């Protein structure tokens, strides 16, 4: 494990997937991240690259050739190189190789920058195109935040509060693909109460979210987080069935639509990055 630490927080990471696996308050040892219990979901905060969500028939086409990619791509299962480490900052890097080029015919460089500043952990992504042709990709975050459940706290004591007025219209998931059908959740005081049933039909997919900061809080104590994000136009909220966590997922891109033509250039949210260009996006979590 790799660690970052300051006066407020201690974070741990794995080189596999450049994955954040723990985020603790040093004053009271409270854990803000999901435990990774494999009985529900054995991950913590995977990076989604070079696609977000699932492909129709797990297949996309580029220049008249078919390629297979699993849901959310391959980066979360690759070992990243640790380029730099200090007490409060580090950088993970992943580059194309022979294996990635078989399923994704694009040279790329992906960097994840993690930084601790006070009670905040920041994560920024940089995608670079080293080739002389365009780079097509999507990218997203998938951090799972713990909802402590004990004699005094139930999952239903938690809520998400949005920093802007919202009418939460979301797209439904059908067999891992995005349906045209939508539903709307009415909010009171910009709050979405959490229930396990909310996620029984998979994630809630938002394409028109106005907020750029979402807080996870509860009605019984003052502990919580402010989760902010930049340059991610799509957003997912998800939990495994009956698990005590909630994932807050800023995305650049979404799963294929149910009637998608499977052409990578036409994939919703796909980024077209020119030769020598870079793309950046970021999220951060302030713990209290």
The closest of 109, 112, 111 to 128, measured between CA atoms, is 109
d(CA 129, CA 108) in angstroms, rounded, equals: 5
Q: What is the pLDDT of residue 137?
A: 98
> What whole-number percentage of the chain has pLDDT above 90?
94
Mean pLDDT of 159-187: 93
Q: What is the pLDDT of residue 239?
A: 98
CB neighbours of 97 closer than 8 A, spacing ≥ 6? none
Q: What is the pLDDT of residue 84?
A: 82
- pLDDT above 90: residue 193: yes
- Give me the number of domains the chain comprises: 1
Tokens coding 285: 């979590």
CB neighbours of 262 closer than 8 A, spacing ≥ 6? 55, 56, 57, 59, 60, 61, 256
Mean pLDDT of 36-49: 97
Q: Please, what is the average pLDDT of the chain? A: 96
Mean pLDDT of 171-193: 93
Sorting pLDDT into bands at 50, 70 and 90, what band is 124?
Answer: very high
Mean pLDDT of 199-209: 95
Q: What is the pLDDT of residue 249?
A: 98
Q: What is the pLDDT of residue 83?
A: 87
Sorting pLDDT into bands at 50, 70 and 90, what band is 189?
Answer: very high
Q: What is the pLDDT of residue 87?
A: 92
Structural domain harbouring 263: 2-287
- 127-162: pLDDT as tens digits: 999 999 999 999 999 999 999 999 899 999 999 999
- pLDDT above 90: residue 220: yes
Q: How many residues belong to the chain? A: 288
Structure-model confidence comparison of residues 84 and 102, the more confident one: 102
Sorting pLDDT into bands at 50, 70 and 90, what band is 175?
Answer: confident
- Paired residues of 95 in beta bridges: 109
Dihedral sign from CA coordinates of 157, 155, 120, 255:
negative
Q: What is the pLDDT of residue 252?
A: 98
- 57-85: pLDDT as tens digits: 999 999 999 999 999 999 999 999 998 88
The closest of 113, 1, 105 to 47, measured between CA atoms, is 113
What is the 3-state secondary structure of the chain? CEEEECCCEEEEEECECCEEEEEEECCCCCECECCCCCCCCCCCCCEEECCCCCCHHHEEEECCEEEECCCCECHHHCECEEEEECCCEEEEEEECCHHHHHHCCCCCEEEEEEEEECCEEEEEEEEECCCCCCEEECEEECCEEECCCCCCCCHHHEEEEECCCCCEEEEEEECCEEEEEEEEECCECCEEECCHHHHCCCCEEECCCCCCEEEEEECCCCCCEEEEEECCCEEEEECCCCCCEEEEEEEECCCCECCCCCEHHHCCCCEEECCCCEEEEEEEEEEC
Dihedral sign from CA coordinates of 156, 172, 167, 288:
positive
Instruction: Give the count of beta carbons closer than 10 Å to the beta carbon of residue 287.
Output: 19
- pLDDT above 90: residue 287: yes
- pLDDT above 90: residue 255: yes
Q: What is the pLDDT of residue 85?
A: 85
The closest of 228, 170, 177 to 199, measured between CA atoms, is 170
The CATH number of the domain holding residue 98 is: 2.70.98.10
Instruction: Give the count of beta carbons closer than 10 Å to the beta carbon of residue 179.
Output: 14
d(CA 55, CA 233) in angstroms, rounded, equals: 19
């Amino acid at each position: 494990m790799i660690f970052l630490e300051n006066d407020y927080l201690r974070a741990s990471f794995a080189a596999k997937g450049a994955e954040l696996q723990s985020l603790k308050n040093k004053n009271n040892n409270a854990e803000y991240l999901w435990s990774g219990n494999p009985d529900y979901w054995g991950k913590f905060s995977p990076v989604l690259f070079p696609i977000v969500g699932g492909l129709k028939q797990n297949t996309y086409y580029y220049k008249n050739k078919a390629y297979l990619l699993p849901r959310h791509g391959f980066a979360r299962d690759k070992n990243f190189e640790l380029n730099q480490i200090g007490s409060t900052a580090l950088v993970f890097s992943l580059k194309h190789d022979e294996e990635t080029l078989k399923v994704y015919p694009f040279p790329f460089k992906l960097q994840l920058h993690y930084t601790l500043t006070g009670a905040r952990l920041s994560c920024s992504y940089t995608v670079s195109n080293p080739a002389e042709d365009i780079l097509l990709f999507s990218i997203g975050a998938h951090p799972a935040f713990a909802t402590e459940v004990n004699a005094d706290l139930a999952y239903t004591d938690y809520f998400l509060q949005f920093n802007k007025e919202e009418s939460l219209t979301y797209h439904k998931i059908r067999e891992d693909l995005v349906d045209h059908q939508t539903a709307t959740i009415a909010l009171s005081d910009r709050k979405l109460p959490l229930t396990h049933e909310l996620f029984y039909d998979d994630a809630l997919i938002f394409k028109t979210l106005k907020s750029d900061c979402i807080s996870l809080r509860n009605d019984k104590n003052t502990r919580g987080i402010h989760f902010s994000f930049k340059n991610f136009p799509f957003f997912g909220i998800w939990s495994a069935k009956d698990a005590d966590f909630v994932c807050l997922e800023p995305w650049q891109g979404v799963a294929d639509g149910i009637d998608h033509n499977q052409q990578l250039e036409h994939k919703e949210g796909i980024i077209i990055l020119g030769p020598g260009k870079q793309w950046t996006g970021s999220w951060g979590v302030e713990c209290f």
